[in-house]
Amino acid sequence: MTPRDAAERGTITLWLLGLCMMLLLLGGISLDLWRGFSARRSLTSAADAAAVAGATALDTAAYRATGAVRLDPAEAERRARASLRDQLDTRALRDARVLADTTGVTVELQGDVAFTLLQLADPGGDLPITVRSTARPRPSG
């Protein structure tokens, strides 16, 4: 064995160790981002469903009297909140705001996803998510 061979012993081991650390970091980022995208998609679906449910609360007395299509705001908020309670995939949900008037319903959801592997880099760190959906009643025909 030459002196040069002795000096290079273990180089491959160090390279492989570095490569494994980089793959672990990349995997952690990928996993956390995927969980964030998935949570955002589920919160968006929940907000859309709640807004549509709220937009079905028509003021029937006004419609029968004048033919005007408008909402009963109190009933619209109640229906939107009931829809949110019935949603199955809202683990990331932390806060919900429902605003209704006679023209439409707006649902704003805020949530967060806790980091998994990136907890090592940012202990206690969360990925904040905010989604908003608006629905308005429209006459058929």
> Which tens digits make up the pLDDT trace of 27-47?
888 888 898 899 999 999 999
Pair of tokens at residue 59: 């003021």
Query: Kind and range of the H or E element at 104?
Result: none
> Does 78 or 122 have the greater pLDDT score?
78
Give the separation between CA 116 and CA 2, rounded to whole angstroms: 47
Question: In the chain, what are the domain boundaries?
Answer: 3-135
Select from 112, 138, 131 the least CA-distant residue to 50.
Answer: 131
> Which tens digits make up the pLDDT trace of 99-128?
999 999 999 999 998 887 777 777 777 889
Question: Computed from CA positions of residues 15, 16, 17, 21, in that sequence, does the dihedral angle turn out positive or negative?
Answer: positive
What percentage of the chain has pLDDT greater than the value 90?
Answer: 52
Whether the model pTM is above 0.85: no
Select from 55, 46, 53 the least CA-distant residue to 73.
Answer: 55
